[in-house]
Amino acid sequence: MRRTTLAAVALVCGITCVGGVASAGTAFAAPDPSPTATAPAVPGTPGDPAAQPPEGEQATPGALEEVRKEIEKLYHRASVATDAYNAAEEKAERQSKEVARLGRAITTGQDRLDLLRHRAGATAREQYRSGGIPQGAQFLLTDDPRLFLDNANRFQRGQHAAKGLMAELRTTQEKLEKDRAAASARWKKLETHRKAEAKAKKEIKKQISAAEKLESRLAAEERERLRKLEEAAQRRAQSAWVDSGILDAISGKASAAGEKALEYAGEQIGKPYAWGAEGPGSYDCSGLTSQAWAAAGVPIPRTSQEQWRQLERVPIREMRPGDLIIYHDDASHVGMYVGDGTIVHAPRPGRDITLAGAGTMTILGVVRPDA
């Protein structure tokens, strides 16, 4: 029932997006860390006080459009930093687990080494007490032929056991040293990823704060005009995409796993975007897609850039509901194709998970989690 409802809403959205109604909010997610340039000042923004309109006057349409572009740019930078944060967090988690595993291996190895050293010491003490001749070797001095043969066999087994003990002692010692070296290296990597995580977190807050500050400087009426400018830009992009005739060629049907992923994603509609979030109360764009496919029993990479890099790519004309559409040249956003030219996605800070036209952003390509 939920899938049917989602499909019906998607059909309505697909029609209205072409006709003129697009979902509010541009969407972004994030790739690997990249240098962030200083945002240029634009007319009518806090970065360019001289260009702002006199007090009491509203910004001109041209200036407001520049503000819209600047806000979009800031949120895009935040999304890039978000993906960097997600990637660093994922790597830090893996390193932390590996450090814990090595720690357990070192403890076990040290206990084994101590036991082997104790046994080797006992053997050495026995040889010392017997004047350097092992007790087994002393038995060989008997005149009884049968006892001699029995003792010879026992002595041979003892020698074999002693050699095995020393070999295991050396092997355990070598493995312990390797584990300690590996643990040290993992600790260094863990610290590196934690620093990258902290740096990305700082960058996210910086860019989001700048965007929110820029938007807060606008009067209520101007903010409404700004929202309409966003919607108009999306309508133009969606109309151009649909007018290309691409929808006429897309007729694929969702797989069983794709249906489950779509059902999960549809149930999250209305929940807020939050950077680094993977549910259940909020999501970022790749957090939504990765959790939706996880719910379908198909684990996929956490970030949009890794989803683009690792998952199988399919031509846009061959995409089917459940496939992931990757956006922008830097693979900084991802949405799940619902059908009828529509996606479900987590847009950006300040926006909720929603349905939107699949062509409202620049499409980089399509990937299929369950190829």
| 8 Å CB contact between 344 and 225 | no
Q: What does the alpha-carbon distance between residue 95 and residue 166 come to, in Å, rounded to a whole number?
A: 34
Question: Measured at the alpha carbon of residue 257, what is the angle toward residues 85 and 333, in degrees to the nearest 5?
Answer: 30
Tell me whether residue 160 is one of the annotated catalytic residues: no
pLDDT for 214 equals 77
What is the pairing mode between strands 324-327 and 333-339? antiparallel
Q: What does the alpha-carbon distance between residue 255 and residue 320 come to, in Å, rounded to a whole number?
A: 8
The set of residues, in sequence order, having a beta carbon less than 8 Å from that of 22 and lying 6+ positions away, is: 231, 234, 235, 238, 356, 357, 360
Handedness of CA 62, 68, 70, 76 (dihedral sign): negative
Question: Measured at the alpha carbon of residue 75, what is the angle toward residues 33 and 68, in degrees to the nearest 5?
Answer: 145
Helices (H), ranges, the chain: 2-19, 61-129, 135-138, 145-216, 220-243, 256-267, 285-295, 304-310
Q: What DSSP character marks residue 76? A: H
Pick out the chain residues at pLDDT < 70.
1-61, 120-121, 123-162, 164-165
Buried b (16+ CB within 10 A) or exposed e, 269-294: eebebbbbbbbeebbbbbbbbbbbbb
Residue of 17, 76, 193, 285 marked catalytic: 285
How far, CA to CA in Å, does 72 sit from each of 51, 265, 338, 345? 19, 24, 25, 17
| 8 Å CB contact between 325 and 358 | yes
Buried b (16+ CB within 10 A) or exposed e, 350-371: ebbbbbbbbbbbebbebbbbbe
Buried b (16+ CB within 10 A) or exposed e, 194-208: bebbeebbebbeebb
Handedness of CA 50, 55, 60, 66 (dihedral sign): positive
Helices (H), ranges, 20-60: none
Q: What does the alpha-carbon distance between residue 224 and residue 357 come to, in Å, rounded to a whole number?
A: 21
Tell me whether residue 345 is one of the annotated catalytic residues: yes
Q: What is the largest CA-CA distance in the chain?
A: 121
Cis peptide before 280 (omega within 30 of 0): yes
Q: Is 312 in a helix, a strand, or coil?
A: strand
Residue 356's identity, in one-letter code, is: A
The full DSSP string for 89-129 is HHHHHHHHHHHHHHHHHHHHHHHHHHHHHHHHHHHHHHHHH
pLDDT for 6 equals 61
| 8 Å CB contact between 296 and 266 | no
The set of residues, in sequence order, having a beta carbon less than 8 Å from that of 76 and lying 6+ positions away, is: 28, 328, 332
Residue of 76, 193, 328, 333 marked catalytic: 333
Q: What does the alpha-carbon distance between residue 250 and residue 208 come to, in Å, rounded to a whole number?
A: 36
Tell me whether residue 17 is one of the annotated catalytic residues: no
